[in-house]
């Protein structure tokens, strides 16, 4: 039976936080819906101390941000974007349109149609997370979205040059310097200066994630992404320093970022906890990571690899780093997660920044029912049908007529009956049903 050597915050504590966040977000979104740009400006001043007449960046401002970066910085951004774009293109290639003749004269098919406008949120209040621009804007453009709007908060009192550069190089059509609920709300609801989008994507803090949840239905969303979660599944093939480093590498995201170790080795578990304490003395971002580890860190000791997999699937974490003597077994066994990082040579930071897989991933157990952001999220799979012959419409129409009668839908039935009369030459009574010529005995 699994034993928790360290537990994080309980379900009630999480629920209490959710209630507070939910109420705040609801008020703010209602204000944006009622007052538009005026509400957005007040919120930006209140939360980011950021005020300007127009929050959309001009081409001159964008060019200045790009010019402020070194050639090496731009090269590194372009390298990361090439990886993300390349993998997204390979994913898009797996999604083919379909047209098939299912019965003689009956053609069914589907098309993958991109949404017309996507809003990509790039978080950056604590750190300028330029990688989120690659993950959202590039993926939308590979999917074929015509209008891609992207918002990121100011950093240290001005647009974050690296973020703006990444947004521009990724192909964004509109770049706005707005953060938090006001950015997400403006993109989804629309204001006097910003036309609304059809879909919201991107990670964020608890307030951004809740805003997306409340806006779902008015617009589509990719998934519930944020706050960041990480899990390490490890055995004695690795040491405590590596486990602790990978846990704290994600805990630094924010004070509410869970970091969990699952292991079948008590020695490794306790060594990892000691290493966490040692590293928290020297990690530059220790103030944030310490709060996350103290409040949300967990260490779970299991009896077997099977139990490790069961516990992992129950938690359904966003990032799952697997470092064991049977990594491929976990690849084939695990079912609930955002992304897997298999073996000690890779890690979550590679996925977050550069390797090519998308870093916008399901959190809060959403990995039970969805994967992460990818080109398919921006595409609507829409079906179509054609009936080419009189014989085909008569055949389908007769079945449809009788099935509608079983349900009591006379109007539906008449849609079928009319075709049977006109194309099949059969005299079906109005609001009746087409009786079979050869009834089944």
Residue boundaries of the structural domains of the chain: 17-222, 227-372, 389-440
pLDDT of residue 11: 62
Q: C-alpha angle 334/337/343, rounded to 5°?
A: 65
pLDDT of residue 10: 66
- For the CA atoms of the chain, what is the radius of gyration? 27
412 labeled part of a ligand binding site:
yes
127 labeled part of a ligand binding site:
no
pLDDT of residue 17: 72
pLDDT of residue 15: 67
The low-confidence residues of the chain, meaning pLDDT below 50, are none
Among candidate residues 174, 252, 271, 319, the one labeled active-site is: 319
Enter the CATH code of domain 227-372: 3.40.50.1980
407 labeled part of a ligand binding site:
yes
- Annotated catalytic, 236? no
- Tell me the residue ranges of DSSP E strands in 199-263: 199-201, 220-221, 230-234, 259-263
Nearest CA among 254, 247, 245 for reference residue 227: 254
Among candidate residues 210, 229, 318, 398, the one labeled active-site is: 318
Is the domain covering 17-222 a CATH 3.20.20.60 domain? no
pLDDT of residue 347: 98
pLDDT of residue 14: 66
- H-helix or E-strand spanning residue 55: none
112 labeled part of a ligand binding site:
no
227-372: same fold as 17-222? yes
DSSP strand pairing (220-221 vs 199-201): parallel
pLDDT of residue 294: 96
- Annotated catalytic, 318? yes
Q: Is the pTM of this model over 0.85?
A: yes
205 labeled part of a ligand binding site:
yes
Contact 177, 152 (CB under 8 A): yes
Q: C-alpha angle 325/4/17, rounded to 5°?
A: 115
Tokens found for residue 68: 């402020």
């Amino acid at each position: 039976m699994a034993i928790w050597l360290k537990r994080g915050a309980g379900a009630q504590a999480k629920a209490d936080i959710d209630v507070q966040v939910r109420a705040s977000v609801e008020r703010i979104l209602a204000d944006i819906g009622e007052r538009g740009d005026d509400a957005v400006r007040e919120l930006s001043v209140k939360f980011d101390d950021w005020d300007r007449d127009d929050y959309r960046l001009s081409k001159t401002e964008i060019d200045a941000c790009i010019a402020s970066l070194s050639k090496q910085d731009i090269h590194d951004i372009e390298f990361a974007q090439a990886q993300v774009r390349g993998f997204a293109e390979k994913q898009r290639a797996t999604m083919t349109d379909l047209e098939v003749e299912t019965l003689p004269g009956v053609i069914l098919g589907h098309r993958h149609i991109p949404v017309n406008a996507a809003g990509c949120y790039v978080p950056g209040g604590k750190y300028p997370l330029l990688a989120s621009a690659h993950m959202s804007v590039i993926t939308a453009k590979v999917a074929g979205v015509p209008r891609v709007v992207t918002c990121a908060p100011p950093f240290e009192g001005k647009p974050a040059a690296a973020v703006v550069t990444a947004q521009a190089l990724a192909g964004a059509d509109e770049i706005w310097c707005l953060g938090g609920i006001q950015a997400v709300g403006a993109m989804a609801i629309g204001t006097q200066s910003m036309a609304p989008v059809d879909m919201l994507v991107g990670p964020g803090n608890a307030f951004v994630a809740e805003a997306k949840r409340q806006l779902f239905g008015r617009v589509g969303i990719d998934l519930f992404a944020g706050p960041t979660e990480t899990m390490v599944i490890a055995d004695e093939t690795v040491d405590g320093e590596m486990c602790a480093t990978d846990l704290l590498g994600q805990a630094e995201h924010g004070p509410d970022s869970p970091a969990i170790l699952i292991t079948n080795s008590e020695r490794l578990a306790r060594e990892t906890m000691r290493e966490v304490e040692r590293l928290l003395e020297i990690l530059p971002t220790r103030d944030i990571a310490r709060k996350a580890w103290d409040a949300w860190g967990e260490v779970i000791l299991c009896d077997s690899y099977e139990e490790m997999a069961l516990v992992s699937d129950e938690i359904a974490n966003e990032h799952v780093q697997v470092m064991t003597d049977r990594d491929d077994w976990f690849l084939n066994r695990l079912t609930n997660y955002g992304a897997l990082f298999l073996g000690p040579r890779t890690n979550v930071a590679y996925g977050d920044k550069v390797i090519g897989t998308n870093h916008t991933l399901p959190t809060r157990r959403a990995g039970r029912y969805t994967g992460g952001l990818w080109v398919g999220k921006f595409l609507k799979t829409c079906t179509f049908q054609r009936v080419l012959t009189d014989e085909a419409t008569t055949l389908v129409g007769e079945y449809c007529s009788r099935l509608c009668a079983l349900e009591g839908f006379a109007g539906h039935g008449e849609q079928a009956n009319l075709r049977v009369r006109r194309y099949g030459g059969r005299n079906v009574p109005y609001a009746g049903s087409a009786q079979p010529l050869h009834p089944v005995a």
